[in-house]
Structure 1
Amino acid sequence: MSKVRQILDMNAFDGAGATGAVARRLGNLGAASVLFYREPIEMVSASGAWMMAKDGRRYLDFYNNVPSVGHSHPKVVEAVSRQIATLNTNTRYVVGIVDDYLDALKARLPDHLENVVLTCSGSEANDLAIRVARAVTGARGIIVTETAYHGNTALVTEASPSALKRGRLPDSVIAIPAPGHASYGEDISAGFRAATEAAMAELARRGMGTAALLVDSIFSSDGIFADPAGFLAPAAEAVQSAGGLVISDEVQPGFGRTGEAFWGFARHGLCPDIVTMGKPMGNGFPVAGMAARPDHLAAFCRETGYFNTFGGNPVAAAAGLAVLEVIETEALQANAAQVGAHLLSGLKALSARSPRIADVRGAGLFIGVDLCTADAEAAPDPEYTVTVINALREAGILIGAAGRFGATLKVRPPLCLTAGEADGFLRSLTDAIED
């Protein structure tokens, strides 16, 4: 039986025999250091979907969703360079580009989410979202999924089961199984709603009440669960009908990645009360945010002030605005749909002939590939997954793992990926799987 794995332990370098630049990093960061691969890579540059190592080796990046429109995109670079050479300050001053960005971002959000608070990280955005939900509802209970990861502040870590190495979740947090067939059979929608309602009842029994259902709408850390589109709506309706809020964590699925919609929650027909955003917003420049109803934000601010020195600075706004413009002008959402469908088709074809692939699922350019033992049991095989990840690294492909057991390949390339690059990945994965 495979054991549950903590998210940062997946394919992490163990530190044994470190020398040179790797030893220097470990000496500086100590126990908090997180390096990938059996032999960590020293990177020096990147462009588009490719990264360049110090030894001159090029790697196709199928892991990193932070540079969502492509590494070192010239339009983002130019916008950031121009703004930092002009003015960078905090939000205590009125600076036009900040509100230009907020208006452009709100134009892509549901109309009821009229207020956006900009932060520096998704962790901060989710921390604020939980605090707002508790202020609005008067309840403390949070419902998440079993292998969720929502950030690293003290509050958000309590709602991130996959971040916990020891101990258990606090009484105010209940984790329910991820929305897959293994837990809910054929009717994922009804099963996930029933699990949510059971969690609400337990939170009531504990005297906590339900403040929010907090979900990453692609369930990335759980192993990527996208379909059937719409399965999230009944659970969300149950929470909202009972007076709780729905927080849609769009750090992973937002900004066109699923192809079908600009937001992951939109694929499910959700009307979230709060939307949190992060990594892809600035294409590598730190910018994140929380969008909320004005009355909800006001309820929080009556008791607690909020100010973020770097959140919403003009350079971050310039990066964010450039990202939105690139997604639109280069039709990257459509590209995610088209190249993602091509990639998904190729992966399913490989799965049909390989006993080592248990399942393939996803939307757009966010796909999960479950790897398993080759026997009749077809159990999750995290050790084999690490072997495949390192074989892909040797072939010049960067990829990560996800899922409860760390046995799911997390396919998450930049939105600018071409069909030719997707084919190169498929060839390398075929070689790694069939060796």
Structure 2
Amino acid sequence: MSQPANARGFDFFSAGELPAPALPADEVVAIVRERWGLDVGLEPLGSQQDQNFLARTSTAEAPGERGAPVGVVKITNPAFTADELDAQDHAASRIAKAAPQLRIATTSRADDGTPRSVVAATSEGPLAIRLLDYLPGGTLNGPAYLSPAVVSRMGEVAAHASLALAEFEHPGLDRVLQWDLRYADRVVDLLAHLHPDPAKRAQVTDAAASAWADLQAVAADLPMQAVHLDLTDDNVVCTTERGIRLPDGMIDFGDVTRSWAVAELAITISSVLHHAGAEPVSVLPAVRAFHAMRPLSAAEVRALWPLVVLRGAVLVVSGEQQVQIDGGANAYAAEGVEREWRIFEQAVSIPSVVMTHVFAAALGVDPAAGGRVAPAKPARTETPGLAAGGRVAPAKPARIETSPRITLDPAIDLTRATRLDVSITSGDVDAGAWLDADLDERLAHAALDAGAPLAWLERSTPRLTASRTHAPDSAATVPNGIDVWFAAATRVSTTDADTRLVVEAADGMTILDGTVPARTRARIRLEAPDAPQHVPHLVRPEVAPGWLAVTEDPAVAIGLHDEGLDTALRAYSTTGDDAADLIARRDRSFADVQEHYYDAPPRIERGWREHLVGTDGRVYLDMVNNVTPLGHGHPGLAAAVAKQLRTLNTNSRFNYGAVVEFSERLAALAPDPLDTVFLVNSGSEATDLAIRVAMAATGRRDVVSLLEAYHGWTYASDAVSTSIADNPNALATRPDWVHPVDAPNPFRGVHRGEEARRYGPEAAARIRELAASGRPPAAFISESFAGNAGGIPLPDGYLADVYAAVREASGLAISDEVQAGYGRLGEWFWGFEQQGVVPDVIAVAKAAGNGYPLGAVITTREIAARYRAGGYFFSSTGGSPASSVAGLTVLDAFRDEGLQRNAADTGAYLKGRLEALAERHPLIGIVHGLGLYLGVEFVRDRATLEPATEETTAICDRLLELGVIMQPTGDHKNVLKVKPPLVVTRESADFFVEMLDRVLTEGW
């Protein structure tokens, strides 16, 4: 038990009950006027043991408005001494000086420089009253979601305070607070009886006792210093820039004292745990940020999570005490009871020893270094974290000195054992086989039937068969042990005294004598003595390094393999390490202009239909990948292309059937008189060739295009691309032969709503002006739907007006169908059909090959012949046997799998749900599009249409956490690009909408 010293200041254990002051607001107003000459109005603010008001000027600039903030009036609990208040003021000033980038709430000063601090005679006796600086921006108070960036900044703020106060000494620090975790055991012991729920009371006391015992192992090695001790979400102040709030200040120095330095961080991260979506690993950004500025010792790493548990326990019992003391009058304390219980629940949801190893792996710290622990056993030379497609490497364990052995009775010829593989790289999980709940069993029984004496699944390799679709949280995919099927009944035992051998049936029930029935799955684990009483067989990847650190590999103990990985697995798992390492390698070798989605992207190595799978087995719903209408991993396409690659793959100058058949079928899909096909390898090449065909056919070089449009990366396709989302300098760098006209955007363009009908005639007039000036255009090029702008339909009649004008000038009309074509709109196969027109040239790609390099230009025989007069055309992969077979297979799948009909039906359903969402969330300005070519546009104000750019990026990041792949589009990057594979189901549409609703409700 901790024992408080004879404190000079407040001593919680001697003070007894500590009711907060409750002065009437008008009395406080009078004191402020009398002592400081300020005429203010007061708004009550929450406090556990003090009384706080926000003071505003008594006059407002306009009727109905509140006055400007003057400061925060703090009425300190009379139990605290003048020395303690002085220490608080000095601590605030010290941090303000050491960290000028932070805003610090120091005591306000009058014009003559004197602090606004008095001890006033009040109706409750003498009370210390101060006016503290008001810091605008608000705190993180409330249940809203906190992003990793916000949590990281909280860790930085705590580190700044810790560094600034490291050498601070003051007699006012000599106090004993109930919030000082050095006395947490006594606080819980003293107050636990006040909790009205016996079951919860027992849970709190048991957890606190266990955490206190863990803490005592390192307590003597924890450095002491002055600490703020209350840098929680309530006391961290934020600045909001362009819709995103980030902590940059601190308030409320009422708990400044001398304590364990690491308690500063423990209290900060504990306050994260009650927020929406928060769980223990959510605090990692703060821990990393704190450690980067103020490194944690091994002892502090070991103490950190026990301190979080103790903080949660203290909050629970203290909250119940305060509610009873104040008789329900303290709304702040009463509202906090549920919040404090959630903090405690999250703190105890993962054992401290596991979280310690999670921290150690994240920080690269050996938790056994220093402190009162045995030397660590050397860990395998694996990078802590998740290896690509292979094992999760544990943090360094701190226990077993010799490798344990497991005996099998009767003995088995282990050289004939079969290691099963259901990782994301295994061929056995192809074609969605991983969704079959019986796949493990079928593979094992097939191995036994083939003569293997045992089949087994290894430890630490994420199992795709354990994952799940449409899940806002990652699944438990990482095994702490192995799964074994024996051909004959086999007894599993060990004589090793340092580990616990656990043999379980598939349902988790322990097989007491260790005898596993024949052909039955058994789960075998080796658990260290310091492992928690219950070790899950499968755990989530985020916490796997912690759990693996308290277990050993039974396969090694049996003799199935040594400490290293099997050769086949080693070749893959040691080449990539985790997602962050792979990004670092990419940045060193890959031109950085080739961007990647997300700042910290997961490593994706498998896809199936509308799902993508990370190397940890996390399954994401892909709502953005319009390159693959058939979905990912389509078995028919894979088989057809593989067969063709085994047979022949050359270029289109040779005579073979696939190129002819594909060209015929593609031409048949185009309206008359379009009957001639050029095959290319990409959308950029298709639009480039379409422009060159038009120039050759007309003998001209001028082209009219739309603003906000994107057509590709080749010279010609980039020249007519004007989207500043892809090229910030697009408008300033167009060649003189490109003539952009206004984007026909009826939502935020120059003409809106009904006025959008003016776009067509105005564009036609511009074309006629060019012709009259002696520069008649070779072509007008546009997407049939404004893809980069967010899937915005053109105004009715737009293309009819413009096509008529360009043809009057003997130019050609080019429809870029790279994104909108191929049935994505549902009702129409080609986007231009929605406008009731027929272009002279069609450019298509993306969907044509389902991601295989294939594109096409479709035009008339006459126009194609004019291009022929200028020379030969050739594309190495466009029209190759493999790409032609890919194109044919895609067309077959469209026909056989009803993809265009699904685009219409599921697209209409999805748009309806998104529009319903817009009725409840004002951030949604409009839902654009048709079929499965949709865009959700976010605005900060529906009247001004100010783009919510930063919010859109943050929303996409939060959706990724919840299992949805989504990206922004549009010149303002404020539109969700909703263009999923055309196989997307209503179930997937519902999951996307539900997750978007959750983000818009909880925050981002």
Aligned-partner Cα distance in 1 for 2:659–2:591: 37
Aligned-partner Cα distance in 2 for 1:401–1:243: 38
Show CA shifts across 1:74-111 (max 9, x none): 11111111111111111111111111111111111113
Equivalent pair of 1:179/1:188 in contact (CA under 8 Å): no
SS at match of 2:710: coil
Aligned-partner Cα distance in 1 for 2:728–2:753: 32
Counterpart position of 1:12: none
Matched, 1:295 2:862: yes
Equivalent pair of 2:771/2:809 in contact (CA under 8 Å): no
**AA in 2 matched with 1:342:** Y
Show CA shifts across 1:29-65 (max 9, x none): 1332311112122111001000001122111001111
Give the stretch that moved more between structures: 388-397 or 169-178: 169-178
Deviation at 1:398, TM superposition (A): 0.7
Matched, 1:129 2:690: yes
Counterpart position of 1:335: 902
Counterpart position of 2:824: 257
Deviation at 1:234, TM superposition (A): 2.1
Q: Mapping of 1:356-395 within 5 angstroms?
A: 356-374=923-941, 377-395=944-962
SS at match of 2:613: strand
Counterpart position of 1:428: 995
Counterpart position of 2:852: 285
Matched, 1:155 2:716: yes
Give the stretch that moved more between structures: 136-145 or 357-366: 136-145
Deviation at 1:230, TM superposition (A): 4.8
The number of residue pairs the alignment matches comes to 421
SS at match of 2:801: helix
Matched, 1:177 2:177: no
SS at match of 2:792: coil
Deviation at 1:184, TM superposition (A): 2.5
Matched, 1:81 2:639: no
Matched, 1:165 2:728: yes
Distance 1:282 1:375, change over 3 A: closer
Distance 1:267 1:340, change over 3 A: same
Deviation at 1:70, TM superposition (A): 0.8
Deviation at 1:177, TM superposition (A): 2.4
Show CA shifts across 1:243-281 (max 9, x none): 111111111011110001111111111110000111111
State the TM-score, normalizing by the size of structure 1: 0.92
Equivalent pair of 1:214/1:247 in contact (CA under 8 Å): yes
Larger gyration radius, structure 1 or structure 2:
2
Aligned-partner Cα distance in 1 for 2:614–2:766: 47
SS at match of 1:60: strand
Aligned-partner Cα distance in 1 for 2:872–2:853: 22
State the TM-score, normalizing by the size of structure 2: 0.41
The one of 779, 786, 791 aligned to 1:224: 791
Matched, 1:396 2:963: yes
Deviation at 1:319, TM superposition (A): 0.5
Equivalent pair of 1:91/1:309 in contact (CA under 8 Å): yes
Distance 1:198 1:228, change over 3 A: closer
Deviation at 1:434, TM superposition (A): 1.9
Counterpart position of 2:776: 209
**AA in 1 matched with 2:742:** P
Counterpart position of 1:46: 607
SS at match of 2:780: strand
Counterpart position of 1:9: none
Aligned-partner Cα distance in 1 for 2:686–2:826: 24
Counterpart position of 1:326: 893
Aligned-partner Cα distance in 1 for 2:968–2:772: 36
Structure 1 stretches lacking a partner, 5+ long? 3-16
Deviation at 1:227, TM superposition (A): 5.5
Equivalent pair of 1:63/1:413 in contact (CA under 8 Å): yes
Aligned-partner Cα distance in 2 for 1:206–1:118: 36
Cα RMSD of the aligned pairs, angstroms, is: 2.0
The one of 220, 236, 240 aligned to 2:807: 240
Deviation at 1:375, TM superposition (A): 7.5
Equivalent pair of 1:125/1:289 in contact (CA under 8 Å): yes
Deviation at 1:323, TM superposition (A): 0.4
SS at match of 2:982: coil
Give the stretch that moved more between structures: 228-237 or 100-109: 228-237
**AA in 2 matched with 1:103:** E
**AA in 2 matched with 1:69:** L
**AA in 1 matched with 2:699:** G
Q: Mapping of 1:3-22 within 5 angstroms?
A: 19-22=580-583
Aligned-partner Cα distance in 1 for 2:921–2:808: 45
Query: Alignment identity in percent?
Result: 37
Distance 1:223 1:206, change over 3 A: farther
Aligned-partner Cα distance in 1 for 2:836–2:899: 22
Equivalent pair of 1:180/1:188 in contact (CA under 8 Å): no
Show CA shifts across 1:319-356 (max 9, x none): 10010010111111010000000000001001112110
SS at match of 2:981: coil
Deviation at 1:114, TM superposition (A): 1.4
The one of 63, 79, 86 aligned to 2:624: 63
